[in-house]
Chain A
Amino acid sequence: MSLTIDINGKSYEAFESETILTVLNRNGIKVPTLCNMKDFIPTGACRICVVEIEGNPKLVSSCSFPVSNGMKIHTHSPRVVEARKTIVELLLSNHPDDCLFCVRNSNCELQNLAKEYHVVERRIHGVKNNHKIDFSSLSIVRDPDKCILCGRCVRVCEETMGVACIEYINRGSKTVIGTTMQKGLNTSSCVNCGQCIMVCPTGALSERNQTSLVQEALGQKDKIVVAQYAPSISVSIAEEFGIKPGKDINGALNAALRKMGFNFVFDTTFGADLTIMEEASELIDRITKGKTLPMFTSCCPAWVKYAEEFAPDFLDNLSSCKSPQQMTGAIIKSYFADKINVKPENIISVSIMPCTAKKFEAQRDTMGRNGINDVDIVISTRELIELIKLYGIDINNIQAELTDSPLGVRSSAGKIFGATGGVMEAALRTAYKKLTGTELTNFKISAVRGFAGRKETKININGLEIGVAVVSGLANAAILLEEIRNGKNDVHFIEVMTCPRGCIAGGGQRIGASESIIEARMQSLYKIDDTETLKVSHKNPEVIELYTNFLGEPLQHRSHELLHTKYSKRDVLL
């Protein structure tokens, strides 16, 4: 630390070229931010983080202003507080005053700021925003009236995802966030990942809420209503109910879903195990028969849509396996329907996902048979929490229950799907067994764990060296794709997750979860993997039973029909 600066009369040390905000955050001084995003270059656009520097006639934005030696900063002087309050009042001047009817009520950064800065009367009257709500997407709803133009969605879409389907349109007071030619999100290149929702400070972006469809389904007494929940769900909701973040509460979740009225509760992790059986077989098939390599995973629906739009040249490289959600859905409406002797059309299949893109995936033409969808309704973690509260279920005082059979048993390999690298690790465990006939001595493949955006390693299986890569964040995937186009040929198997850090930080998760909470979710998944004994998908007794009694062999006729799909080039405004 080479610099000494003075903040509010106290002296602090700082590094050369740090921003004021970095120093403030490190020393426990909070100034509000709106446009600022961790790990992104600051723009200083919203001005809410302004501070006063002695000798400087103007207030400066602390997020973008570098410190210098001897600088004297005031973070909460009357002038600063007044300026911030005015900014909040201006933001509110054209904002619809409908907090009580807003999806982000009580979890809104603008609302919090209005409270913090004691905005209790309307001093500034502006012309209210009057834009159309964009309902065109199956996953995401955009309400530009509630937008404060902070630009975080634009940046995450462009810089993290490399999609850039939204941008500032028009100028000055007419500025809105919109798509090319102001068409709906559905015809744009949007991949439905939902990361824009995760960074939106207000209710301008939200998931297409389907809780009412679930309520309606649960009310239909002549139908069998079935739930499945993704591997990351049970470790992602604890903190909402005052339980330690990351804690696995799958027992309570099973019980809660039954209390709501679901007739059967399954774990999508079973489908993850099934995916591994098919995907590992497909990988071996591709390697041994000299088919198209590298093979990409296809569990992530946003990545699949991205590939269809931006990388149609790689569609043959995508695994033909459906995602765990769709595999579970297909098995529920075939094998399970037979088993309980109910017609598939009398089953309503609801899935609970950490994801908004899954809503889109479930509606794809190829995801069903005879006009019956594999999965009927998809709700996100957020919508699940809404339903738990709506049905008055006290998660803290509920007796844990098991999932239903025959799609209830899961391996811990399927469970780690929730974190980036998990699919890879699970697939390699099974591929190793299939190629060598023996199990790995150490199941833990550390090189593919962790939150790095790109991880690469080589795995030696019986003298056959397999290069594997794990990427999360589509911008990272785009870089890897370009390298492969330019001749990179030392990778054979690639896992792509759209959301950085994987599904535990997916676009359908709780909004506002801190870094440490997301870390706790990952730790929880790996702890399950460490402590449980069923660590490989191919030993899952119910998966084995399913193949013996119903499917036959992986990649064969019946599994091909139920568990595999096709992709095609998608014509959108890129």
Chain B
Amino acid sequence: MKTTLDNILKNYDNSGRDALIPLLQEIQENEGFLSEKSIVMTGKKLNIPTSKIYGVATFYNQFRFEPTGKYHIQVCRGTACHVLGSATVLQELESYLKVKSGQTTRDGFFSIEVVACIGACGLAPVICINGEFYANVTADSIKTIIDTYRAKEQEL
């Protein structure tokens, strides 16, 4: 069951600024992203200016500031994937969906996240959509994959 922001914050009553990252992680786990409201409330709770929280959160790749799409695409940018062209895959994906990494398409279907290493280097370059892995993706095949999901949406 999802806990609300208030319920999460309740557990941090006596916490200091060192609790910031665990707290942000817990919020993201439950809400899917860090909203402006959650940053403001975190600031009030831990007595940290919101600018500092935003600074910390943007430093790490793991935090996002928009809700994830219905299909959340994780693009591996680890060493093996990089060597086999994941940069081009990401670039192509971003231009195909017209959003950058960390963002969500306007229709709310797709969101992109760059991850360090999925641990599936044998499948490089690899992407993962809602837990489903796609191996040896290329700039071309990524479009086909996206189109399959789009078609699935249209059927519904």
> Please, which residues of chain A bring their CB within 8 A of the CB of B43?
574
Contact status A180-B54, CB under 8 Å: yes
Identity of the chain A residue whose Cβ is nearest the Cβ of B55 in the assembled complex: A167
Contact status A169-B39, CB under 8 Å: no
**CA of A288 to CA of B49, assembled, Å:** 39
Main secondary structure of the interface of B (DSSP, over half): helix
Partner of B59, one of A158, A166, A170, A573: A170
Contact status A164-B51, CB under 8 Å: yes
* Nearest-Cβ distance from residue B55 to partner chain A, whole angstroms: 4
Contact status A573-B36, CB under 8 Å: yes
**CA of A171 to CA of B61, assembled, Å:** 9
Give the size category of B's interface with A.
10 to 19
Question: Is residue B84 within 8 Å, beta carbon to beta carbon, of the partner chain?
Answer: no
Question: Is residue A117 within 8 Å, beta carbon to beta carbon, of the partner chain?
Answer: no
Contact status B59-A171, CB under 8 Å: yes
Contact status A167-B59, CB under 8 Å: no
> Please, which residues of chain A bring their CB within 8 A of the CB of B65?
181
**CA of A171 to CA of B60, assembled, Å:** 8
| A-B residue pairs in contact (CB < 8 Å), sample of 23 | A164-B49, A164-B51, A164-B52, A165-B49, A165-B51, A168-B55, A170-B58, A170-B59, A171-B60, A178-B54, A179-B51, A180-B36, A180-B39, A180-B51, A181-B36, A181-B65, A573-B40, A573-B50, A573-B51, A574-B40, A574-B43, A574-B44, A574-B49
Encode contact with A along B88-106: 1 for CB under 8 Å, 0 otherwise: 0000000000000000000
Contact status B52-A169, CB under 8 Å: no
Question: Is residue A188 within 8 Å, beta carbon to beta carbon, of the partner chain?
Answer: yes
Contact status B51-A188, CB under 8 Å: yes
Contact status A574-B50, CB under 8 Å: yes
Question: Is residue A189 within 8 Å, beta carbon to beta carbon, of the partner chain?
Answer: yes
* Nearest-Cβ distance from residue B36 to partner chain A, whole angstroms: 5
Encode contact with A along B66-97: 1 for CB under 8 Å, 0 otherwise: 00000000000000000000000000000000
Encode contact with B along A127-140: 1 for CB under 8 Å, 0 otherwise: 00000000000000
Q: Which 9 A-B pairs have the closest CB atoms?
A: A167-B55, A164-B49, A167-B51, A180-B50, A180-B54, A170-B58, A171-B59, A180-B51, A573-B50
Contact status B49-A158, CB under 8 Å: yes
> Please, which residues of chain A bring their CB within 8 A of the CB of B50?
180, 573-574
Identity of the chain A residue whose Cβ is nearest the Cβ of B59 in the assembled complex: A171
Q: Which of A537-574 contact B (CB under 8 A)?
A: 573-574
Identity of the chain A residue whose Cβ is nearest the Cβ of B56 in the assembled complex: A167
**CA of A324 to CA of B65, assembled, Å:** 44
> Please, which residues of chain A bring their CB within 8 A of the CB of B55?
167-169
* Nearest-Cβ distance from residue A493 to partner chain B, whole angstroms: 29
> Please, which residues of chain B bring their CB within 8 A of the CB of A573?
36, 40, 50-51
**CA of A178 to CA of B59, assembled, Å:** 13
* Nearest-Cβ distance from residue B50 to partner chain A, whole angstroms: 4
Contact status A171-B36, CB under 8 Å: no
Partner of B49, one of A168, A171, A181, A189: A189
Identity of the chain A residue whose Cβ is nearest the Cβ of B50 in the assembled complex: A180
**CA of A171 to CA of B116, assembled, Å:** 15
> Please, which residues of chain B bring their CB within 8 A of the CB of A167?
49, 51-52, 54-55
Identity of the chain A residue whose Cβ is nearest the Cβ of B48 in the assembled complex: A164
Encode contact with A along B1-44: 1 for CB under 8 Å, 0 otherwise: 00000000000000000000000000000000000100110011
**CA of A574 to CA of B50, assembled, Å:** 6
**CA of A573 to CA of B60, assembled, Å:** 21
Encode contact with A along B131-156: 1 for CB under 8 Å, 0 otherwise: 00000000000000000000000000
> Please, which residues of chain A bring their CB within 8 A of the CB of B51?
164-167, 179-180, 188, 573
**CA of A189 to CA of B53, assembled, Å:** 14
**CA of A425 to CA of B32, assembled, Å:** 56
**CA of A171 to CA of B59, assembled, Å:** 5
> Please, which residues of chain B bring their CB within 8 A of the CB of A574?
40, 43-44, 49-50
Given A165-B51, A166-B51, are A171 and B39 neighbors across the interface (CB < 8 Å)?
A: no
Identity of the chain A residue whose Cβ is nearest the Cβ of B52 in the assembled complex: A167
* Nearest-Cβ distance from residue B56 to partner chain A, whole angstroms: 9
Q: Which of A184-208 contact B (CB under 8 A)?
A: 188-189
Q: Which of A154-180 contact B (CB under 8 A)?
A: 158, 163-171, 178-180
* Nearest-Cβ distance from residue B8 to partner chain A, whole angstroms: 20
Identity of the chain B residue whose Cβ is nearest the Cβ of A170 in the assembled complex: B58
> Please, which residues of chain A bring their CB within 8 A of the CB of B54?
167, 169, 178-181
**CA of A188 to CA of B40, assembled, Å:** 12
**CA of A169 to CA of B73, assembled, Å:** 24
Identity of the chain B residue whose Cβ is nearest the Cβ of A166 in the assembled complex: B51
**CA of A485 to CA of B144, assembled, Å:** 63
* Nearest-Cβ distance from residue A155 to partner chain B, whole angstroms: 12
**CA of A50 to CA of B139, assembled, Å:** 46
> Please, which residues of chain A bring their CB within 8 A of the CB of B49?
158, 163-165, 167, 189, 574
**CA of A295 to CA of B59, assembled, Å:** 43
> Please, which residues of chain B bring their CB within 8 A of the CB of A169?
54-55, 58
Identity of the chain B residue whose Cβ is nearest the Cβ of A188 in the assembled complex: B51
> Please, which residues of chain A bring their CB within 8 A of the CB of B44?
574
> Please, which residues of chain A bring their CB within 8 A of the CB of B52?
164, 167
**CA of A180 to CA of B60, assembled, Å:** 15
**CA of A164 to CA of B48, assembled, Å:** 9
4 additional A-B pairs beyond A163-B49, A180-B54, A573-B51, beta carbons within 8 Å, are A158-B49, A165-B51, A169-B55, A574-B44
* Nearest-Cβ distance from residue B43 to partner chain A, whole angstroms: 6
**CA of A443 to CA of B2, assembled, Å:** 67
Identity of the chain A residue whose Cβ is nearest the Cβ of B60 in the assembled complex: A171
Contact status A181-B39, CB under 8 Å: yes
**CA of A181 to CA of B65, assembled, Å:** 8
Contact status B58-A171, CB under 8 Å: yes
> Please, which residues of chain B bring their CB within 8 A of the CB of A166?
51
> Please, which residues of chain A bring their CB within 8 A of the CB of B36?
180-181, 573
**CA of A163 to CA of B49, assembled, Å:** 8
From B43, B51, B58, B65, residue with most partner A Cβ within 10 Å: B51
* Nearest-Cβ distance from residue B52 to partner chain A, whole angstroms: 6
> Please, which residues of chain B bring their CB within 8 A of the CB of A170?
58-59
Encode contact with B along A499-523: 1 for CB under 8 Å, 0 otherwise: 0000000000000000000000000
**CA of A502 to CA of B41, assembled, Å:** 34
* Nearest-Cβ distance from residue A551 to partner chain B, whole angstroms: 42
**CA of A163 to CA of B51, assembled, Å:** 10
> Please, which residues of chain B bring their CB within 8 A of the CB of A164?
49, 51-52
Identity of the chain B residue whose Cβ is nearest the Cβ of A168 in the assembled complex: B55
From A165, A169, A181, residue with most partner B Cβ within 10 Å: A181
Identity of the chain A residue whose Cβ is nearest the Cβ of B57 in the assembled complex: A169
> Please, which residues of chain B bring their CB within 8 A of the CB of A163?
49
* Nearest-Cβ distance from residue B1 to partner chain A, whole angstroms: 29
